[in-house]
A and B are shown apart, each in its own frame.
Chain A
Amino acid sequence: MNFDPRFSGRKFTSVGTRPIRPDGIDKVTGRARYGADFNMAGQLVGRVLRSPHAHARIVKIDISKAEKLAGVKAVVTAADLPDLTDGDAAMYDVLDNCMARTKALYDGHAVAAVAAIDARTARQALKLIEIEYELLPHVTDVDEAAKHTAPLINDAIFTEGLEEKPVKPSNVTKRSQFGHGDVHQGFGHADFIVERSFKTEQTHQGYIEPHACVANFSSDGTADLWVCTQGHFVYRQHCAQLLGMEASKLRVTSSEIGGGFGGKTHVWAEPVALALSRKAGRPVKLVMTRDEVFRASGPTSATSIDVKIGARKDGTITAAEATLRYSCGPYAGSWAEIGAMTAFACYKLDNVKTVGYEVLVNRPKTAAYRAPSAPMAAFAVESAVDELAKKIGMDPVDFRIRNAAQEGTRSSYGPVYGPIGIGPTLEAVKSHPHMKAPLGKNQGRGMACGFWFNFGGQTCTDLNIGMDGSVSLAVGTVDVGGSRASLSLVAAEELGIDYSQVKAIVADTSSLGYNDMTDGSRGTFSSSMATISAARNAIKILRERAAQMWDIAVDDVVWEKGHAIAKGEKHGNLGKLSLKEIAVESGKTGGPIAGHSELVADGAGVSFATHICDIEVDPETGAARVIRYTVVQDAGKAVHPTYVEGQYQGGAAQGIGWALNEEYIYGKDGRLQNAGFLDYRIPVCSDLPMIDTQILEIPNPNHPYGVRGVGETSIVPPLAAIANAVSNAAGVRMTHIPMSPPRILAAIEAEREWSK
């Protein structure tokens, strides 16, 4: 298969239009089946018993009383999920997180589970499980945990990445460093320097649909799993490995998904549901409650970041440096490393250095959250950049334009950029009407830039042409943002047929080859590439069949606008054959017509956005209200512009919640205080203005249509843009996210005291 992924600059017929999404009607009428909507005859209800302690040794678990309760069909503990990870440390952490083995490492850590005939019996059974804990000192704050005096969460962990091998264990699992040049020398050339420390609290993706699955383990050793996930192939691999199965013996079907944002890239309940089903010999449905989702799924890191940036009077940045500490939960991660890579990625810098520290805390295991780690780093860096522009006396947009990375710039994390969109988003912002909109009393404007890598990865797709000429597209990337619509457009474009003739589905793990998850903004980027390749393979067969029908050489047949056309003077009297006409005859010309594709989608191409935000602050209460918001982002090529805009708006909406109110609040006892949507405040509709969007299209040279991922970058600038706006509205620099009303009011009061 000689697939050429290079950008071709073609004109589009279907791509770029805005048809209704194929999954839309079922979703708005309630017919769509999400994780908890799947049911089987004889299924049991699974429930998980969770540690109420932040850190405790599990001395003894007695499940005998629970097992004897009428209606209980299985009780599992770590003993039912033996360690089969064979030295794979990351998988061992996943296993231990699914079911605590020797220690409960956070409030909410699973310690046992039951399957019973109904929810009431299951709940009663949980109360009958007796666990003896030995309480251990705990630590939940990222800065506290990094201290030498902090309680140790795992005494087998010694900090990696230090010049000298440490002799003592530490909660800091890894140090990573990026950059080039000499920052010390760079700061020496600066006329102005800004140096500040920032904190961001831990947030949750806040997907509306909780984790849910049905597991059905057969006595023949095979199993089915229906589950809400961003990556059913990855879930299959992980579950199969943890349960000691061959991957092909476990078929995983993904449901519709009510939001994931990175949070559904990790298994929690699924291996437990499978273990329960295996033990009970019946299907088990396991649905997490909202409380469990908050306490025991995978929120993002809390962070503490120090930034120092220096610039000359003319506005040229001479050096930039950041130290970033990210919480990982109780297991090692690479979250600070990603933060350290992204922190200064928007800028062209001669001297840059970033250092990341991964920090263990007694909180849930950190998972990805939409451009994971980048928003916090951008908050710190873009706040400092804004302050530096002010110090120099330059417009914040002009200051950024002056220092923006370009094609050929060596990025702060190493690679040299190809054609990129940071400059164009800044120019678009500079001339955007939002920048001239009048501001009232107590209102302030802020802007900020953001970067995200984007990812391509392994993709496998089938395109089947029915005998009536309609097209089924089977993809393996879960549709979390409208990708079935986008991929149908791509298939229609390539085949030259109407969008309505294509029906896309997400196939299960036994129907397609391996697909990476829908993460890294890769769904549409990678699956569109695979769809183009599959369609081209199908066209090759269509041409062959047409040649056969005409009895001419296949080289004389071209494919144009959904038709086979015989080219060359000697075929001048042959009419064209439509896809449908060829499909109808396929039984007689060689059987079904299909195109297959398996590829690694390389060259995802980095993504940039610039956001503008206007905020009004009530100086007497600290309440902040977003009154105007604009997202400008490079999409490469917007396949379905409405869903691209939706991604832009969604990222901004989540960023607004994160910036202003969302946070995990832990008590002194190490227990989560606000495990529900009442006190974990994601924005409601009336909290948000209409979020304006502007799509820029700077083609990705590594995709036939120029497509770039668009899903994640939109959450990178908001924390900083909002912080800059609040700081301008309130007249005081905000350095702690979320900027909840008590924090803003306290900052305003402190400023008043200071200026007295």
Chain B
Amino acid sequence: MRYIRPLSIEDAVGQLAGSAGTAAILAGGSDLLVRMKGGFAEPELIVDIKAIDGLSEIRETAEGFSIGAAVPCAVLGENTALKKAWPGVVEAAKLIGSKQVQGRCTIVGNLCNASPAADSVPALVAAGAKAVVVGPGGRRTVPVQSVPTAPGKTSLAKGEIIEAILLDKRAPRSGDAYLRFIPRTEMDIAVVSAGVNLTLDEHGVVKSARVALGAVAATVLLVEEAAEVLIGSKLDEATLERLAKVCAGACRPIDDKRGTIEFRRKVAGVLAKRAATTAYARAGGK
């Protein structure tokens, strides 16, 4: 096993692209080290990206926010501007693992681990976040939902690294929220989750919406029919019931050790309702 700590993203990409055997990227290590200790991963090359310039920063730009791939989730919670603009994304990141884990883990790692139950991913998908991918062929920007393709699998090619996550500047009267269901209060993994992102018009009517569900299919689902239910409404009781129904219907869950198909369908709808209600209040809706 070889461990390297490159200082530039180009060097990291070059090392990854040139590696002969299995390679892994190390940021917080909260997935990788657990897998290695459990004997599930034995990478021949480990590329630690924490020393790469700029990767440990959150930058606020004219377009919005750029969150570096090595920024720990705890740091997201300490960024007042980010928290104000995207409270749903930040609360999702702050649900991963425990306080100690949040001091290490990153949202890019959460995305690239490609678990359908990843906490930050539904919130990022609902937020319309994009990922900046750097590889041997240069830089490209892709929607986050295009990164995970199946449990444990991503669309990233050999040598490619996600450098940052981009979040848009907020339109007025916008709010987002993320909720997950776990049998415990913390230190757990989502059985079902829902992220909702809303923008209202001046009358409090939903102008645009994105609804994402986690842990109910092989990848996080962006449920467009659910967004359509919300657009044009003020989140009255009937709308919320329709939202729950559409979300339950959109799920393609499995029965497993964490929950049943019926449970996941039902609770996906409940969480979507509750997250939508919170997002609506955060957007200033009454």
Q: How would residues 678 to 701 of chain A score, 1 for a CB under 8 Å from any chain B CB and 0 otherwise?
A: 110101101100000000000000
CB distance from A456 to the nearest CB of B (A): 39
- Check B263 against A681 for contact (C-beta < 8 Å): no
When C-beta atoms are compared, the residue in chain B nearest to A660 turns out to be B183
When C-beta atoms are compared, the residue in chain B nearest to A625 turns out to be B185
Query: Which residues of B lie under 8 Å from residue A661 when comparing CB positions?
Result: 183-184
Q: How would residues 659 to 676 of chain A score, 1 for a CB under 8 Å from any chain B CB and 0 otherwise?
A: 011000100000001100
> Which has the most chain A C-beta neighbours within 10 Å: B187, B191, B262, B270?
B187
Given contacts A123-B39, A665-B257, contact A741 B183 (CB under 8 A): yes
Q: Which of A153-161, A536-544, A616-624 contacts B (4 or more CB under 8 A)?
A: A616-624
Any A CB within 8 A of the CB of B44: no
Query: Which residues of A lie under 8 Å from residue B191 when comparing CB positions?
Result: 741
Query: Which residues of A lie under 8 Å from residue B258 when comparing CB positions?
Result: 679
CB distance from A11 to the nearest CB of B (A): 46
- Check A623 against B262 for contact (C-beta < 8 Å): no
Given contacts A620-B270, A678-B188, A678-B189, contact A740 B257 (CB under 8 A): no
Query: Which residues of A lie under 8 Å from residue B183 when comparing CB positions?
Result: 623, 660-661, 681, 740-741
Any B CB within 8 A of the CB of A742: yes
- Check B267 against A621 for contact (C-beta < 8 Å): yes
Which of B181, B186, B257, B267 is close to A674, meaning CB atoms less than 8 Å apart? B257
Any A CB within 8 A of the CB of B266: yes
> Which has the most chain B C-beta neighbours within 10 Å: A291, A621, A687?
A621
Within 8 A of B (CB), among A408-455: none
Main secondary structure of the interface of B (DSSP, over half): loop
Given contacts A123-B39, A745-B263, A745-B266, contact A684 B185 (CB under 8 A): yes
Any A CB within 8 A of the CB of B260: yes
CB distance from B216 to the nearest CB of A (A): 14
- Check A741 against B181 for contact (C-beta < 8 Å): yes
Q: How would residues 179 to 199 of chain B score, 1 for a CB under 8 Å from any chain A CB and 0 otherwise?
A: 001011111110100000000
Given contacts A621-B270, A673-B257, A679-B258, contact A746 B263 (CB under 8 A): yes
- Check B257 against A679 for contact (C-beta < 8 Å): yes
Report the separation of the CA atoms of residues A661 and B184 in the bound assembly, to the nearest whole angstrom.
8
Any A CB within 8 A of the CB of B259: yes
CB distance from B31 to the nearest CB of A (A): 12
Query: Which residues of B lie under 8 Å from residue A684 when comparing CB positions?
Result: 184-187
- Check B184 against A683 for contact (C-beta < 8 Å): yes
- Check A681 against B39 for contact (C-beta < 8 Å): no
Which of A291, A674, A687 is close to B184, meaning CB atoms less than 8 Å apart? A687
Query: Which residues of B lie under 8 Å from residue A623 when comparing CB positions?
Result: 181, 183
Given contacts A673-B257, A742-B260, A746-B262, contact A687 B185 (CB under 8 A): yes
Report the separation of the CA atoms of residues A683 and B187 in the bound assembly, to the nearest whole angstrom.
10
Report the separation of the CA atoms of residues A751 and B267 in the bound assembly, to the nearest whole angstrom.
18
Report the separation of the CA atoms of residues A740 and B260 in the bound assembly, to the nearest whole angstrom.
11
CB distance from A745 to the nearest CB of B (A): 6
Q: How would residues 717 to 733 of chain A score, 1 for a CB under 8 Å from any chain B CB and 0 otherwise?
A: 00000000000000000
- Check B260 against A681 for contact (C-beta < 8 Å): no
CB distance from A750 to the nearest CB of B (A): 11
Report the separation of the CA atoms of residues A262 and B183 in the bound assembly, to the nearest whole angstrom.
26
Report the separation of the CA atoms of residues A686 and B181 in the bound assembly, to the nearest whole angstrom.
15
Q: How would residues 186 to 224 of chain B score, 1 for a CB under 8 Å from any chain A CB and 0 otherwise?
A: 111101000000000000000000000000000000000
Report the separation of the CA atoms of residues A681 and B186 in the bound assembly, to the nearest whole angstrom.
11
Report the separation of the CA atoms of residues A597 and B39 in the bound assembly, to the nearest whole angstrom.
50
Given contacts A660-B183, A665-B257, A679-B257, contact A741 B189 (CB under 8 A): no
Within 8 A of A (CB), among B207-259: 256-259
Within 8 A of B (CB), among A127-145: none
When C-beta atoms are compared, the residue in chain B nearest to A123 turns out to be B39
Report the separation of the CA atoms of residues A152 and B270 in the bound assembly, to the nearest whole angstrom.
45
Query: Which residues of A lie under 8 Å from residue B188 when comparing CB positions?
Result: 678, 681
Report the separation of the CA atoms of residues A625 and B267 in the bound assembly, to the nearest whole angstrom.
17
Q: How would residues 248 to 286 of chain B score, 1 for a CB under 8 Å from any chain A CB and 0 otherwise?
A: 000000001111101100110010000000000000000
CB distance from B240 to the nearest CB of A (A): 12
Report the separation of the CA atoms of residues A686 and B258 in the bound assembly, to the nearest whole angstrom.
20
Report the separation of the CA atoms of residues A622 and B188 in the bound assembly, to the nearest whole angstrom.
17
Within 8 A of A (CB), among B10-49: 38-39
Q: How would residues 591 to 635 of chain A score, 1 for a CB under 8 Å from any chain B CB and 0 otherwise?
A: 000000000000000000000000000001111010000000000
Report the separation of the CA atoms of residues A123 and B39 in the bound assembly, to the nearest whole angstrom.
9
Query: Which residues of B lie under 8 Å from residue A673 when comparing CB positions?
Result: 256-257
Report the separation of the CA atoms of residues A678 and B186 in the bound assembly, to the nearest whole angstrom.
11
Query: Which residues of B lie under 8 Å from residue A679 when comparing CB positions?
Result: 189, 257-258
Report the separation of the CA atoms of residues A681 and B191 in the bound assembly, to the nearest whole angstrom.
13
Report the separation of the CA atoms of residues A687 and B186 in the bound assembly, to the nearest whole angstrom.
8
Report the separation of the CA atoms of residues A123 and B257 in the bound assembly, to the nearest whole angstrom.
28
CB distance from B276 to the nearest CB of A (A): 14
- Check B266 against A686 for contact (C-beta < 8 Å): no
Query: Which residues of A lie under 8 Å from residue B267 when comparing CB positions?
Result: 620-621, 741, 745
Query: Which residues of B lie under 8 Å from residue A665 when comparing CB positions?
Result: 257
Report the separation of the CA atoms of residues A740 and B182 in the bound assembly, to the nearest whole angstrom.
10
Query: Which residues of A lie under 8 Å from residue B262 when comparing CB positions?
Result: 742, 746, 749
Report the separation of the CA atoms of residues A620 and B263 in the bound assembly, to the nearest whole angstrom.
10
CB distance from B67 to the nearest CB of A (A): 26
Report the separation of the CA atoms of residues A686 and B185 in the bound assembly, to the nearest whole angstrom.
6
CB distance from B281 to the nearest CB of A (A): 19
Which of B181, B189, B256, B257 is close to A621, meaning CB atoms less than 8 Å apart? B181
Report the separation of the CA atoms of residues A679 and B117 in the bound assembly, to the nearest whole angstrom.
13
CB distance from B118 to the nearest CB of A (A): 14
CB distance from B24 to the nearest CB of A (A): 18
Query: Which residues of A lie under 8 Å from residue B39 when comparing CB positions?
Result: 123
CB distance from B112 to the nearest CB of A (A): 19
CB distance from A323 to the nearest CB of B (A): 29
Report the separation of the CA atoms of residues A643 and B187 in the bound assembly, to the nearest whole angstrom.
28
Further contacts, 11 of them, CB under 8 A, given A661-B183, A679-B258, A686-B185 = A123-B39, A620-B270, A621-B270, A660-B183, A673-B256, A679-B257, A683-B184, A684-B185, A741-B259, A742-B262, A745-B263
8 residue pairs bridging A and B, Cβ less than 8 Å apart? A622-B263, A623-B183, A661-B183, A674-B257, A678-B189, A741-B267, A742-B262, A742-B263
* A-B interface, 10 closest residue pairs, ranked by CB to CB distance from nearest: A742-B263, A686-B185, A620-B270, A673-B257, A665-B257, A661-B183, A684-B187, A742-B260, A674-B257, A687-B185
